[in-house]
């Protein structure tokens, strides 16, 4: 089963790259029609979420200083390109998180996935470690990538080129 999850995780990474490949720095932070979460923030949020997954998997946090503040959940994204890492920096960071998380998940003891979620507050939504790992590697990323896809249309950019 875990091979299916890691396949989708890799698939999501490819989608992320295609969704932003043609965007300029100014477009990365464009907020059309009140769409607050622009591609720069969305990618950064995915990096931070993947970093959180890495820590759950027993790895050290490795995001650059300042990223926690720039991409905090509930924060208000800025329309200034200088407030964010470049598209390429964000994609590189996301790819690095994917690589280390995939390796750690594939090496994890399968029994560990059945253990209770370590955060009692989140346990009601994701009872086990396997539930939160699967969510973060699949549904969570796909949801935010869908937002970027909708953002493209709201910005008048249209769908990305096909792979």
Global confidence as pTM: 0.95
Who has greater pLDDT, 163 or 138? 138
Hey, what's the torsion of the CAs at 29, 31, 36, 41, to 10 degrees?
-10
Q: Give me the percent of the chain exceeding a pLDDT of 70.
A: 99
Quote the pLDDT of residue 158. Answer: 86
Each residue's pLDDT tens digit, 43-92:
999 999 999 999 999 999 999 988 988 898 888 898 999 999 999 999 99
Who has greater pLDDT, 161 or 137? 137
Mean pLDDT of 93-106: 98
Which string of b and e fits 57-89 if b means at least 16 CB within 10 Å? beeeeebeeebeebbeeeeebeeebeebbebeb
d(CA 41, CA 46): 9
> Is the confidence at residue 163, as pLDDT, over 70?
no
> Is the confidence at residue 106, as pLDDT, over 70?
yes
Label residue 17 by pLDDT band (50, 70, 90).
Answer: very high
Q: Give me the percent of the chain exceeding a pLDDT of 90.
A: 86
């Amino acid at each position: 089963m875990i091979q299916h999850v890691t396949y989708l995780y890799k698939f999501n990474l490819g989608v992320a790259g295609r969704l932003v490949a043609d965007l300029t720095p100014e477009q990365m932070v464009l907020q059309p029609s009140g769409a607050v979460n622009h591609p720069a923030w969305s990618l950064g949020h995915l990096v931070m979420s993947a970093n959180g997954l890495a820590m759950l998997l027993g790895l050290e946090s490795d995001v650059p200083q300042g990223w926690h503040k720039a991409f905090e959940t509930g924060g208000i994204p800025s329309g200034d390109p200088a407030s964010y890492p470049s598209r390429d920096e964000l994609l590189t960071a996301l790819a690095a998180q994917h690589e280390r998380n995939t390796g750690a998940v594939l090496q994890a003891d399968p029994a560990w996935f059945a253990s209770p979620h370590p955060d009692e507050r989140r346990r009601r939504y994701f009872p086990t470690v396997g539930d939160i790992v699967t969510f973060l590697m699949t549904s969570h990323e796909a949801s935010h990538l869908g937002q970027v896809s909708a953002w493209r249309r709201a910005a008048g950019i249209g769908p990305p080129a096909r792979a």
